[in-house]
Structure 1
Amino acid sequence: MNKSLKKPILIFVLGLVVVSGFFAFKAKNDKLFALAKNIDIFATMVRELDSYYVDEIDPDELVTIGINAMLEDLDPYTTYIPEEESADFRMMTTGEYAGVGALIGNRGEGNIIIMPYSGFPAQSAGIRIADLLLKVDTVSVIDKATSDVSTLLKGPANTEVFVQVKRGEDTLDFNLTRKKIVINNVPYYGKLDANTGYIKLSDFTTNASNEVRKALLDLKGQGVDRLVLDLRDNPGGLVNEAAEIVNLFIPKGKEIVKTIGKLEGVNYTYKTTKTPLDKDIPLVVLINEHSASASEIVAGALQDYDRAVLIGRKSFGKGLVQTTIPLSYNAQLKVTTAKYYIPSGRCIQAIDYTQTRQSGELTTVPDSLRQEFKTKNGRTVLDGAGIEPDEYVESESYSPISYSLVARNHVFDFATEYFYKHESITDPSSFEVTDQDYEEFMKWLEGKEYDYTTYLEKSVTDLTKYAEKETYYDEIKDQIEAIKKRVNHSKEQDLITNQEEIRRILSGEIVSRYYFQEGMIESGIKDDPTIEEAVKYLSEIDRYKETLTASAK
């Protein structure tokens, strides 16, 4: 190159660098100025509202509302956690808190015990499901919000709390000692048959992987040589726990999930770091539309490595990673900082929140834009809409009468009365509502309100609504009325027609009175169509293996 040209070119390049640096510096400064300006406007506005507004305002409440409204425009996972909510947030992420160990809820007359957890203060002291809470210490809680009652029951470990409940016509007092409560991530595990183990994983809080490991070791010790891992209705949690669970079944050194965001500090690759507990045991993973986040990492990674057959329904589609950042005055910001990508390279995030903000409506990734990826064995999988199962099982739908009986607490109340009339029942796996029990239930329902609209009645109502708009309605009016009379439901007949379904719901609720959460899960296993399909799959090992090969797709 001509030496005389080198200097102008060098000057030109340096000029570009300076100009681009200037614009970058200016853009950054402009952004910082805009932030400072708007924060100042916001602070000034709150101060002036406090001074001039006709009524007294609560600045803390007003600012919190403003912050939450701002964050709602981003995504539902970016949230503000004020100091007073830090304990609840810690409990959600760690599964630990100090209290009496009972789930409470409002069923109309007030706050009642929904479920005392086995082995913790409430259950050990004799507090039972359906006990109505009257007092916590000296505070009457009859008309208090459930969240306020929950706060009163919690406190430092080893401190005393007085609880007064109403049980039927009796008023009972309990002096409880709060304890550190650790909610099990694995509320139940057991054998589905002589060779098939089952593990229900409900959360991904601290220690989830150890709980799964212990359950699997125990099952293997009982002769189990195939496994069903149930992730249905599991909302997710800690990514590192998900990685450790995958590592139970996948060899050391394999990539499980990548997190990729705007800042280098949030980019991370999780790999298996240990020798697996069992890399060969035939494995089925159950998922549904409520399996999210860490559940999808586990299910997706095992699918990408062709290590498990997935059965159920398409998962939720949450491929976003959150980081908790400390703020002033012990507040925190949980903010979306990255997306995660499972081993095949796909991101399973289903909702595009950038497009949602622009359109004002939830925007999902259209099928035409979903990309294809390959599993280890060459099977085709898609991104952009959750994890799709290898074997689809329809969602079980309940009849309108069943929904009504549950919603109006008739199933709950009958189970409570049954408990006080029967000292004991058989084990959860074999207990069933007898013909006599069901006849008593139908008699017990007499005079109680549980009206509902059947699917057929709704169809006729819709037909009438549309027919009334037609000019010939008068000609068919009598025929429609005749149809209405024929389809008007008989509640007594519906109790007979749907008794198998209702008896199954009743059985689970009654079992919970004697065996609590663990028993309720065990009771529901025997009639679960998704679990039945999983057991069938694992018993047909050739079909299982074929599904995990590319030729099956």
Structure 2
Amino acid sequence: MKKTLKQLRIPFVAILLFVGTVAFTPSERYFEIAKNLDIFATLFKEVNTYYVDEVHPSGLIKTGIDAMLASLDPYTNYIPEDEIEDYRTMTTGQYGGIGAVIGKRNEKTLVLMPYEGYPANKAGLQIGDEILEIDDLPVADKSSGEVSKLLKGQANTTLNLKVKRYGVAQPLNISITREKIKIDNVPYYGMVNNDVGYFRLSDFTSDASREVKKAVTELKAKGAKKLIFDLRDNPGGLLSEAVNISNIFIEKDAEVVSTKGKVTEWNKTYRALNPSVDTDIPLVVLTSSRSASASEIVSGVIQDYDRGVLVGERTYGKGLVQATRPLTYNSQLKITTAKYYIPSGRCIQAIDYSHRDEDGSVSTIPDSLRVAFKTKNGRTVYDGGGILPDIEVEEREYSPITMTLVNKGLLFDYATEYASKHKTIASAKEFAISDQEYNEFVKWLTNKDYDYSTRVESNLKELEENAKKEKYFDGIKEQLSQLQTQISHDKNKDLQKNKDEIKEALEQEIVSRYYLQRGSVEASFDDDEDILAALDILNNPDKFAKLLSN
């Protein structure tokens, strides 16, 4: 299924807006700042002294700061001291822990994915295990975030889990020694077929470019003559890593991105500083509507230099740069400092935060104001709306019954049961559920609760409500009743009508029990519409070349 720092002079964190301000002389500006800070301080003292209930100074101030920054853009944030560690985890991908994703399903805290080679995996923790206790502390009433904090800690410290495993009568006690966890930016790379390599980049934390370079080099060593570079759902990250990853595919000294903001001495043009790894291998980049920030720099560079073909959805449109600034008491400010411009000269920022409507809302930049630019080969591209791929593939829309089976955790639960009864399966690329096995799944669903409404049923209900409001209901009541009878969904019919997509989702879920994250990716190769579109282009050299020509 389709579905997310280093230091220059300032540590750039993510690619994100420049907000204009009213023109003041320096002396006027300093007076306005001092006056309003004095008003805020005296107001806070009065509230703290006279408000009827007890107030908590830190929380109250943070609320005020957050509200103030929210009027600028969503990416300018205050980070208090007690949240610094979580912020470092987000920006570096490193933390002390067990290396597993956990989550809540039906009020249970379950292991959703242990990372291969990390402590949880090495200790034998499995997908579907229910965590009951952590160091004798019950976790039934705790949120996923609270459980996650209990699992994290200093490297080389030990924690004991009590877990319930499907098919095992008594709870298991599992001892795990925490390690320093570095989440891979490239969670998977491998061969789709004999000559096409594939790699996925999920983040732009430190070492992302090293991981991409390793993936490209090893895929070529395995025989890859063409590459698929998956940037879907990648939220971005370090600007420096975006520059270095772009450098892998373009010539040394080529311009990658430039930044422009209020502080002109911080404006800079970033170029490829190293020899490229490969400037010729046919390349397809996959994008989605959730590909943002640094992802858009890399995909934009590939498009602007006509280095490869972009396939998928229009990207998010975040053409902004942020930096962190130190504050007192070990807190920090993450602040938008500039816009970025890719080699064609375009800025792909899609939302204009500097001009808010009277109600405080913001709007996307209208098509009429978007400006045309040219790629290296003279193709026309536009600013102000993300990166538009060369081949658009709409995100697949799954049926209500499939989404309900996923959201209710029924595919997850059945895969766990399946794995307990089948010790081995075929390879991830070859595994498939037989018709008989699918019928067993349908039978298993018989006593499960998974009611849902189809889109037609929802539309009919809305029509009925509007008819009642507008006094038409009595006149069309009989017709609506007949229509309701005709379209009323039948679960068994829906299970057969949507059999293929349900089987695909179930196969990926089952494969993950045996081959973890790697298996989930490989199981998707034969039905991922973006990958199939990429293969079609890569296997047609004339079509590939035509897409990149003027």
Per the normalisation by structure 1, the TM-score is 0.92
Partner of 1:239: 239
> Are 2:419 and 1:419 equivalent residues in the alignment?
yes
Q: Deviations over 1:214-267 (max 9, x none)?
A: 111111111111111011111111111111111111111100000111002431
Partner of 1:59: 57
Q: Deviations over 1:409-461 (max 9, x none)?
A: 11111111111111121111111122222112111111211111112222332
Contact 1:258 1:270 in 2 (8 A): yes
SS at match of 1:354: coil
Contact 1:291 1:316 in 2 (8 A): yes
Write the letter of the residue equivalent to 1:126.
G
In 2, the alpha carbon distance for the partners of 1:173 and 1:56 equals 44
Partner of 1:35: 33
Partner of 1:44: 42
> Are 2:337 and 1:337 equivalent residues in the alignment?
yes
Question: Can you give the 5+ residue segments of structure 2 that lack an aligned partner in the other structure?
Answer: 1-21
In 2, the alpha carbon distance for the partners of 1:319 and 1:470 equals 46
Query: 2:103 is matched with which residue: 102, 105, 129?
Result: 105
> Are 2:232 and 1:224 equivalent residues in the alignment?
no
Partner of 1:288: 288
Contact 1:319 1:340 in 2 (8 A): yes
Partner of 1:123: 121
Write the letter of the residue equivalent to 1:140.
P
Write the letter of the residue equivalent to 1:95.
G
Residue 466 of structure 1 and its aligned partner are, at CA, apart by: 4.1
Write the letter of the residue equivalent to 2:159.
V
Q: Percent of pairs identical after alignment?
A: 51
Q: 1:76 to 1:479 in 2, by over 3 A?
A: same
Partner of 2:10: none
Q: 1:42 to 1:137 in 2, by over 3 A?
A: farther
In 2, the alpha carbon distance for the partners of 1:106 and 1:43 equals 42
Residue 376 of structure 1 and its aligned partner are, at CA, apart by: 0.6
Residue 361 of structure 1 and its aligned partner are, at CA, apart by: 2.0
Choose 193-202 or 335-344, whichever is displaced more.
Answer: 193-202
In 2, the alpha carbon distance for the partners of 1:356 and 1:472 equals 40
SS at match of 1:218: helix
Write the letter of the residue equivalent to 1:205.
T
- Asked which structure has the greater CA Rg, the reply is 1
Partner of 1:541: 541
Partner of 1:160: 158
Residue 468 of structure 1 and its aligned partner are, at CA, apart by: 4.3
In 2, the alpha carbon distance for the partners of 1:236 and 1:318 equals 10
SS at match of 2:198: strand
Contact 1:141 1:149 in 2 (8 A): yes
> Are 2:121 and 1:132 equivalent residues in the alignment?
no
Residue 544 of structure 1 and its aligned partner are, at CA, apart by: 0.7
Contact 1:73 1:357 in 2 (8 A): no
Write the letter of the residue equivalent to 1:414.
Y
Write the letter of the residue equivalent to 1:94.
T
SS at match of 2:519: helix
Write the letter of the residue equivalent to 2:100.
A
In 2, the alpha carbon distance for the partners of 1:41 and 1:138 equals 50
Counterparts in 2 of 1:146-185, with a 5 A limit? Answer: 146-168=144-166, 169-185=169-185
In 2, the alpha carbon distance for the partners of 1:64 and 1:272 equals 41
In 2, the alpha carbon distance for the partners of 1:238 and 1:330 equals 22
Q: Deviations over 1:197-228 (max 9, x none)?
A: 11111111111111111111111111111111
In 2, the alpha carbon distance for the partners of 1:154 and 1:321 equals 30
Contact 1:401 1:452 in 2 (8 A): yes
Partner of 1:80: 78
Counterparts in 2 of 1:368-383, with a 5 A limit? Answer: 368-383=368-383
In 1, the alpha carbon distance for the partners of 2:87 and 2:155 equals 18
Q: Deviations over 1:75-116 (max 9, x none)?
A: 111111111111111111111111111111111323221111
Q: Deviations over 1:369-410 (max 9, x none)?
A: 000000011110000000000111121000000111111111
In 2, the alpha carbon distance for the partners of 1:25 and 1:480 equals 61
Question: Can you give the 5+ residue segments of structure 1 that lack an aligned partner in the other structure?
Answer: 1-23
SS at match of 2:510: helix
In 2, the alpha carbon distance for the partners of 1:159 and 1:115 equals 21
In 2, the alpha carbon distance for the partners of 1:125 and 1:46 equals 52
Write the letter of the residue equivalent to 2:107.
E
In 2, the alpha carbon distance for the partners of 1:368 and 1:26 equals 32
In 1, the alpha carbon distance for the partners of 2:23 and 2:237 equals 39
Q: Deviations over 1:242-297 (max 9, x none)?
A: 11111111111100000111002431111011111111111111111011001100
In 2, the alpha carbon distance for the partners of 1:57 and 1:445 equals 51
In 1, the alpha carbon distance for the partners of 2:41 and 2:53 equals 19
Partner of 2:489: 489
Partner of 1:433: 433
In 2, the alpha carbon distance for the partners of 1:431 and 1:42 equals 64
In 2, the alpha carbon distance for the partners of 1:355 and 1:539 equals 46
In 1, the alpha carbon distance for the partners of 2:59 and 2:130 equals 31
> Are 2:219 and 1:192 equivalent residues in the alignment?
no
Residue 354 of structure 1 and its aligned partner are, at CA, apart by: 1.1
Partner of 2:250: 250
Q: 1:54 to 1:310 in 2, by over 3 A?
A: same
Q: Deviations over 1:107-132 (max 9, x none)?
A: 13232211111111111101112222
Partner of 1:19: none
Q: Deviations over 1:167-207 (max 9, x none)?
A: 24432222221101011111111112211111111111111
SS at match of 1:329: coil
SS at match of 1:525: coil
Per the normalisation by structure 2, the TM-score is 0.92
Q: 1:382 to 1:439 in 2, by over 3 A?
A: same
Contact 1:113 1:133 in 2 (8 A): yes
Choose 131-140 or 57-66, whichever is displaced more.
Answer: 131-140
In 1, the alpha carbon distance for the partners of 2:357 and 2:312 equals 32
Residue 156 of structure 1 and its aligned partner are, at CA, apart by: 1.5
Partner of 1:69: 67
Contact 1:349 1:385 in 2 (8 A): yes
Residue 522 of structure 1 and its aligned partner are, at CA, apart by: 1.3
In 1, the alpha carbon distance for the partners of 2:283 and 2:195 equals 12
> Are 2:264 and 1:264 equivalent residues in the alignment?
yes
Counterparts in 2 of 1:355-366, with a 5 A limit? Answer: 355-356=355-356, 358-366=358-366
